[in-house]
Structures are given as C-alpha cells and as structure tokens.
Amino acid sequence: MLKTILLTLLATGAIAASAATPTQLLETYTAEAARQTPGFQPSAQRGAQFYAQRFALSEKMPNCASCHADNPAQAGKHVVTGKVIKPLAPRGEPARFTDPAKVEKWFGRNCKEVVGRECNAAEKADFIKFLTEGP
C-alpha cells in the first residue's frame, strides 16, 4: 500500500523522484500510519527505541546501530562487509531520505535483515522523526 502511495506521489509530481525531503517522506509515512491507526503521530522517542532495539534474527546485526553507529549522525561500518556507511541521519548526510525509491529499497533490505520482516509505516515514520530531530 505504501509503495502505491509513493508511486502515486511520484507520478503526480507531489514528490519528484530525486527531490523529496525527509519531511515529505515523514508526512507520507505518517499519513499511511494514520490510515491504519487513526490519530497516529510519529514519535522520535519510539524511533530511537526502534533504532537501538535488539532483534533476535541475527547475532551479527542485532539492531540498526550495529552497522550505523550508536550516533546515527556519524559514519558507520557494515558488520559483515566492512564497508563504510555514510551517516544515517540527515544532519550528518544531507542526501539521506531525499529519494523515495532508495528509502523504500533500504527500508526493505534492512528491515528484513535486522528485524526479520517488513517495517510498517508507523515504524518508518518514527524512525525518520528520530533521525531528523536527533538523539
């Protein structure tokens, strides 16, 4: 459903393919979450808890911080490949959360690898709220 909304926004020009802002994406995820749970409001605190939460899926990647650093405004390092990862927070890497297709791609991969399932719209909204407001 969320991918359909993002594709519709892209097609209508509401969000240009490579010219979205973190705020626009936050609004999109918040709207989807509110359709599922009326009254939903994103929470930076829930986003921070999600970022640090240990999931039982992988010993090497138990949480987001295992690759993205405890402080998401700093560079991280992939625990399996050793590849340096630019900061996750937009204040550390301004290009973050500016391309809806990339955002969906990485939420898809990382949620499956770390959480063990797709992340829902509320989790994505909370996550972006945390990363844009800072710890």
**pLDDT tens-digit series, residues 73-127:** 999 999 999 999 999 999 999 999 999 999 999 999 999 999 999 999 999 999 9
> Are the beta carbons of 28 and 15 closer than 8 angstroms?
yes
Domain containing 16 equals 2-133
CA distance 100 to 6: 7
- Per-residue pLDDT, 87: 96
- pLDDT higher for 37 or 58? 37
Q: How many domains does the chain have?
A: 1
Determine the residue type at 117.
R
The CATH number given to whatever domain includes residue 90 is: 1.10.760.10
Rounded CA separation 19/59 (Å): 36
Amino acid identity for residue 74 in this structure: Q
Residue 4 pLDDT? 52
The string of DSSP codes covering 118-132 is PPPHHHHHHHHHHHH
Q: pLDDT value at position 135?
A: 60
The amino acid occupying position 65 is A
Residue 85: which of 62, 68, 64 has the closest Cα? 68
Strongest mean pLDDT among 4-8, 9-13, 18-22, 41-45: 41-45
